[in-house]
Amino acid sequence: MVNPQEIDTLVYSAVFGTPEEKQNSRYKIWQLGKENGVLFASINDFYMARGRGEVTERFTVPAMNLRGMTYDLARSAFVAAKNQAVGPMIFEIARSEMGYTDQTPLEYTTVVLAAALREGWQGPLFIQGDHIQAKAASMGVPKEGEIESIKDLVRQAVAAGFYNIDIDMSTLVDLNADSVEKEQIPNIIYSLELAKFVRGIEPKGITISLGGEIGHIGGKNSTVEDFRAFILGFNAGLPKDMVGISKISVATGTSHGGVVLADGTLADIALDFSILSSISKVCREEFKIGGTVQHGASTLPENYFSEFPKSDAIEVHLATGFQNIQMDHPQFPKELLSKMYAWIDETKQSEREEGQTDAQFHYSLRKKAWGKFKKECWDMAESNRMAIMKTLTERFEFLFKQLGVVDTRSVLDKYIKPVLVEKTEKDFVEWADKPKDVVGLSD
């Protein structure tokens, strides 16, 4: 039995303590996870079973980006998941988010694990590196040193418990090429390089779930032809007996964070669900992998969420909607939000798009204030935090129901048997003292 106050103290120390305090607290939290049956896991076997047709239930796995107030946000998700017997759910953070939210992979896994312990969660804990993405120097060409920076980050993430990695080389798709097959060549080449790298460092007994991406979110919509070009080339380059990807991210008309109107509200989005269903069909029937992944979904209209399981999407990524609940909540201190906006005005003017209103500018950039004001958000009055958590829990319960993952724990447990990766206290030394550009992180 875990002492809630002990967990609260340990996780605060794990985030804000001295280097020695961080190391000790993170190790203790990991030990408590081991003792209480909360282990980091890969969702690969479950997704592949779906691809083979062994899992016939229709549901879409929520993959949740936790940018700020991460401990409270994760706790809310675990409360909702326990209430509804949810099985598959993923906690993730993108490469870019690690930079501007000031959350290293080791800190992130520790905080989510602590939240699970705090709420009495037991079982597999799926942590995912979202959008492990290459910046392009030119069409089809990554920036110099970019792939090595990504490898260094992935190495740190896997060591921290990220056993699910979304490789996103869609930024390198060569739209100047004269055929779909040629467009995808850079994506294939670098996706293969990173997939082989991950397979070379994954812990014994664990097959990390790998995702690919064929269409950059916010760009042109993906097609079955795009997918076939990518997967055929990717599979052809895999060494014999090496496990490939378990899912594919596609572009359907959404964008990260939504499209912001002049008054700060969000525009309606025309999402093409047929892309999800048609490519998922090919994923499963021809290639025996889980299916399609939808990004940029959390700010969509309420009635859209139940469409994802109907469209056979295997996974949906949710981020900005949680941030909006937090920052726009009546109990989020107005003075703190004003300080965040003032900091954005002072430091982020170079990122302001021409013609943006203040409302559009603040909405688009406020995600980048989480890292700067991380401690102030953690130190928020408990009454405020509990009120925000209550609203978030209700949101998670709504999403879990719409996505069809309620009462799925027994289905998940048929395929996922977490493997304990033994660690020592030395494995919890903080590595964030490295310059951020070593791993390609920036705020």
> Which of 304, 211, 212, 289 minimizes the C-alpha distance to 254?
304
Question: What integer is the mean pLDDT of 12-21?
Answer: 96
Show the domain range for 153: 4-327+397-423
Residue 365 within a domain: no
Provide the number of structural domains found in the chain. Answer: 1
Question: What integer is the mean pLDDT of 64-78?
Answer: 98
Compute the residue count for the chain: 443
Q: Report strand pairing: 247-250 vs 209-213.
A: parallel
Residue 440 within a domain: no
Distance CA 443, CA 369 (A): 9
> Which of 43, 242, 11 minimizes the C-alpha distance to 128?
43
pLDDT of residue 172: 93
pLDDT of residue 270: 65
For residue range 176-203, what is the model confidence (pLDDT) as tens digits? Answer: 899 999 999 999 999 999 999 999 999 9
Q: For all residues of the chain together, what is the average pLDDT?
A: 93
Distance CA 436, CA 342 (A): 25
For residue range 132-166, what is the model confidence (pLDDT) as tens digits? Answer: 999 999 989 999 999 999 999 999 999 999 999 99
Q: Is the pLDDT of residue 438 over 50?
A: no
Question: Which percentage of the chain shows pLDDT scores above 90?
Answer: 87
Distance CA 90, CA 319 (A): 12
> What is 278-345 written as a DSSP string?
HHHHHHHHHH----EEE-S-TTS-GGGTTHHHHTTEEEEEE-HHHHHHHHTSTTS-HHHHHHHHHHHH
Q: Is the pLDDT of residue 261 over 50?
A: no
| CATH code, 194 | 3.20.20.70
For residue range 300-349, what is the model confidence (pLDDT) as tens digits? Answer: 899 999 999 999 999 999 999 999 999 999 999 999 999 999 999 999 99
Residue 363 within a domain: no
Residue 298 within a domain: yes
Q: What are phi and psi of 421, to 5 degrees?
A: -100, 110
Residue 401 within a domain: yes
pLDDT of residue 1: 77
- 42-46, 214-218, 311-315, 332-336: segment of lowest average pLDDT: 214-218
pLDDT of residue 297: 83
Q: Is the pLDDT of residue 129 over 80?
A: yes
Residue 437 within a domain: no
pLDDT of residue 299: 81
Non-local CB neighbours of 435 within 8 Å, separated by 6+ positions: none
Q: Is the pLDDT of residue 433 over 60?
A: no
Distance CA 65, CA 115 (A): 15
**In this structure, what DSSP letter does residue 211 have?**
E
Residue 17 within a domain: yes
pLDDT of residue 100: 95
What's the distance, CA 370 to chain centroid? 16
Q: Is the pLDDT of residue 408 over 60?
A: yes
Residue 438 within a domain: no
Q: Is the pLDDT of residue 78 over 50?
A: yes
